[in-house]
Chain A
Amino acid sequence: MPLDAHPSAPAPATVRDLRFAIEEFNFEYAAVLDAGKVADWPNFFTDDALYVVTGRENADANLPVGLVYCEGIGMLKDRALAIAKSMMFAPRYMQHQFSNVRILALEADGTIVARTNYVLYQTLVDEKTTIQQVGRYDDRFVRRDKRLLLRARRCVYDSLIIDTALIYPV
């Protein structure tokens, strides 16, 4: 929906500030994940956050399934723990890149509704770099103690056919 059509569309100067803040947030988010510090990843979310990774075919058809489906920070922590301590997979590097940040709405309670496109590159240590996913974040941000936190992040990927496995968070 174009910004000016949204009932709670914020003023342009506010949009500029919000977009800057969300870009900063996403850059920090990527820095943590791309450094492999997966245990710190849940810190970007509220305690009651929803985190879902799903294919665009599911999002378009309103099918609720998630490749990853975490309700609440406990499930995010468990996934982080499983990646760091328990799961078996080949070593790799991941790198996120972001673009097209859009502020879709600023709701009365301060919730920021935003959308950001992402590209997620994967480099297995003995293979060439590939694009693991191209997709978008559909986000709901809230402010807690002057910090932005994610109350919901839905990662909707266009790349419907996953190559082998998606290990790390998107």
Chain B
Amino acid sequence: MPDDLTKTSGKNEPDYIWPNDDLQLIPDWVYTSQAIYERELERIFHGRTWNFVALEAEIPEPGSFKRSFVGPTPVVVARDLDGSVRVFENRCAHRGAEMCRPAAGKVKEFVCPYHQWTYDLAGNLIGVPFRRGLNKQGGMPADFRPEEHNLRQLGVTTRRGVVFASFCHDMESLEDYLGKDVLEDFDATFDGRKLKILGYYRNTVPSNWKMYHENLKDPYHATLLHAFLVNFGLMVAGNKCAMIVDPSGRHGTLASAKPEEKLQVDDYAKKQMRAFSDKMELADRRFLDYVKEFKSPWSVTMQTIWPNLIVQRELNTLGVRHIVPQGPNEFLMIWVMFGYGGDSDEMVRHRLRQGNLMGPSGFLGLEDNEALKFVQQGMARSLSDTSYVALGDREEGTAHHIITEGGIRSMYRHYRGVMGL
């Protein structure tokens, strides 16, 4: 390729100029550069965004807390005595220790184990041992004011039991942040029923965190990578489906409706989907049952909520996936699987059985993680330096078909604006 010969900088020392100013080309450095990652922390995770931090069901009572993250930054999510939710940096104001260590628990106050500086449930400093010294010697200076040394507190908002936090203190409402269409599918999952936590999965993926969003803004891969979806009729090219994008381009909902009857797949589509086989049958079809319990035309919605949340409603298996970036080349994913308070024992078991579809050992989930690893390795170890997202040509925004990468282009239009790229 002649272009490559004239380049003055390679992908390890890029000049951060978007190739051809074209959203069909994505430069590798957005996935691999430490400098870009640091700008993402400043402008995205620590900037004007609402970040998922917890489900309220995880912190049910005053004093309940959860150790969480905004971007890679450790925070504590705690329920205060008045029932409100507080989020503050997990870093002692004294020597900087990441002081809260258990994943979750219940306390009256937070005490740093190093020198026992003590904070209330909102992160306000309430105790400093030997503040007045000993025998009139030492101690904190006379002008020391504890209220000037509270833990850094984040803005907090909740909706239908989901807690978001922001380092930015003049954020728009969550409703305005999500936009009407994304909010509608969010509310279909969080429909007012009390949530019941079913458990956790945690995994790392050796991939850039944005790729996880892109994978769920890429309906094209669903019927190609995921043979399970295709062979068992959950999602086949030709299903009713949509890639819904909010007006800003950053959030999305990948939605599909499971056909009532086994879909008849025409010869063209069969030939395109190499994974398709008429012959595979399940020994236990309960994996695929769909109990209609939502006010939604969709049986599946995968919501990508910028920058760190996936809301999974895959038939009746429900979960939130919390993305915690660990540098440009890896992210941690924390899955909180849930049902609803009124679920029968059988409904809980149905959700657990269907849980086999998702997660780092899920029929679909493990394939995504493997594919994302392949992509990151491809970018890290090759000379070529762009990827090509031209499906659906230049269309952006919501699409009612799946052979498109418009959702990815929408995300990068937003991203480039925020990042100044």
* Chain B 259-295: CB-based contact to A (< 8 A → 1; otherwise 0): 0000000000000000100001011101100000000
Please tell me if the beta carbons of A67 and B197 are within 8 angstroms of each other in the complex: no
Q: List B contacts of A70 (CB < 8 A).
A: 353, 356
The reply to whether the CB of B383 lies closer than 8 angstroms to some CB of chain A is: no
The reply to whether the CB of A78 lies closer than 8 angstroms to some CB of chain B is: yes
Please tell me if the beta carbons of B367 and A65 are within 8 angstroms of each other in the complex: no
Shortest distance from the beta carbon of A70 to any chain B beta carbon, whole Å:
7
A86 to B373, CA, bound (A): 19
Please tell me if the beta carbons of A88 and B361 are within 8 angstroms of each other in the complex: no
Given contacts A58-B199, A65-B337, contact A164 B360 (CB under 8 A): yes
Q: List B contacts of A85 (CB < 8 A).
A: 280
B:169-211 near A, CB below 8 Å? 197-206
* Chain A 108-123: CB-based contact to B (< 8 A → 1; otherwise 0): 0000000000000000
Q: List B contacts of A163 (CB < 8 A).
A: 203-204
The reply to whether the CB of B168 lies closer than 8 angstroms to some CB of chain A is: no
Q: List A contacts of B103 (CB < 8 A).
A: 57
A68 touches which of B203, B337, B349, B361 (Cβ 8 Å) = B361
A166 to B203, CA, bound (A): 10
Shortest distance from the beta carbon of A136 to any chain B beta carbon, whole Å:
17
Q: List B contacts of A71 (CB < 8 A).
A: 284, 286, 349, 353
Please tell me if the beta carbons of A65 and B352 are within 8 angstroms of each other in the complex: yes
Please tell me if the beta carbons of B355 and A66 are within 8 angstroms of each other in the complex: yes
The reply to whether the CB of B225 lies closer than 8 angstroms to some CB of chain A is: yes
From A58, which residue of chain B is reached at the shortest CB distance? B199
Q: List A contacts of B225 (CB < 8 A).
A: 88
B370 touches which of A79, A162, A165 (Cβ 8 Å) = A165
Shortest distance from the beta carbon of B306 to any chain A beta carbon, whole Å:
24
A34 to B197, CA, bound (A): 34
The reply to whether the CB of B369 lies closer than 8 angstroms to some CB of chain A is: yes
From A71, which residue of chain B is reached at the shortest CB distance? B353
A54 to B287, CA, bound (A): 18
Please tell me if the beta carbons of B366 and A64 are within 8 angstroms of each other in the complex: no
Q: List A contacts of B206 (CB < 8 A).
A: 164
Please tell me if the beta carbons of A64 and B348 are within 8 angstroms of each other in the complex: yes
B284 touches which of A64, A75, A164, A165 (Cβ 8 Å) = A75
The reply to whether the CB of B219 lies closer than 8 angstroms to some CB of chain A is: no
Please tell me if the beta carbons of A55 and B360 are within 8 angstroms of each other in the complex: no
A39 to B370, CA, bound (A): 22
A164 touches which of B201, B231, B337, B373 (Cβ 8 Å) = B373
The reply to whether the CB of A25 lies closer than 8 angstroms to some CB of chain B is: no
The reply to whether the CB of B371 lies closer than 8 angstroms to some CB of chain A is: yes
The reply to whether the CB of B50 lies closer than 8 angstroms to some CB of chain A is: no
Q: List B contacts of A167 (CB < 8 A).
A: 361, 366
A161 to B360, CA, bound (A): 10
The reply to whether the CB of B117 lies closer than 8 angstroms to some CB of chain A is: no
Please tell me if the beta carbons of B370 and A90 are within 8 angstroms of each other in the complex: yes
The reply to whether the CB of B298 lies closer than 8 angstroms to some CB of chain A is: no
Please tell me if the beta carbons of A89 and B228 are within 8 angstroms of each other in the complex: no
Q: List B contacts of A10 (CB < 8 A).
A: none
Q: List B contacts of A88 (CB < 8 A).
A: 225, 227, 367, 370-371
The reply to whether the CB of A72 lies closer than 8 angstroms to some CB of chain B is: yes
The reply to whether the CB of A131 lies closer than 8 angstroms to some CB of chain B is: no
* Chain B 21-60: CB-based contact to A (< 8 A → 1; otherwise 0): 0000000000000000000000000000000000000000
From B201, which residue of chain A is reached at the shortest CB distance? A67
A86 touches which of B231, B359, B371, B374 (Cβ 8 Å) = B231
The reply to whether the CB of B332 lies closer than 8 angstroms to some CB of chain A is: yes
Shortest distance from the beta carbon of B223 to any chain A beta carbon, whole Å:
13
Q: List B contacts of A67 (CB < 8 A).
A: 201, 359-361
A162 to B365, CA, bound (A): 13
A:70-98 near B, CB below 8 Å? 70-75, 77-79, 81-82, 85-90
The reply to whether the CB of B340 lies closer than 8 angstroms to some CB of chain A is: no
Shortest distance from the beta carbon of A90 to any chain B beta carbon, whole Å:
6
A165 touches which of B199, B231, B353, B369 (Cβ 8 Å) = B369
The reply to whether the CB of A21 lies closer than 8 angstroms to some CB of chain B is: no
A68 to B231, CA, bound (A): 20
Please tell me if the beta carbons of B205 and A164 are within 8 angstroms of each other in the complex: yes
Please tell me if the beta carbons of B200 and A55 are within 8 angstroms of each other in the complex: yes
From B230, which residue of chain A is reached at the shortest CB distance? A86
Q: List B contacts of A53 (CB < 8 A).
A: 361
Please tell me if the beta carbons of A69 and B352 are within 8 angstroms of each other in the complex: yes
A:102-148 near B, CB below 8 Å? none
Interface centre among B199, B202, B204, B337 (most CB of A within 10 A): B199
A161 touches which of B203, B356, B361 (Cβ 8 Å) = B203
30 pairs across A/B with beta carbons < 8 Å?
A: A55-B200, A55-B202, A57-B103, A63-B198, A64-B198, A64-B199, A65-B201, A65-B352, A66-B352, A66-B355, A69-B355, A70-B356, A71-B286, A74-B283, A78-B283, A81-B280, A82-B363, A85-B280, A86-B363, A87-B228, A90-B370, A161-B332, A162-B203, A162-B204, A162-B361, A164-B360, A164-B369, A165-B361, A165-B365, A166-B360
Q: Which 6 A-B residue pairings sit nearest by Cβ, starting from the closest?
A: A65-B199, A74-B284, A63-B199, A74-B283, A165-B366, A162-B203
- 20 extra A-B contacts, CB within 8 A, seeds A54-B199, A164-B373: A57-B200, A64-B198, A66-B355, A67-B360, A68-B356, A69-B352, A69-B353, A73-B283, A74-B284, A75-B284, A78-B287, A81-B280, A86-B227, A86-B231, A88-B371, A89-B366, A162-B360, A165-B360, A165-B365, A166-B360
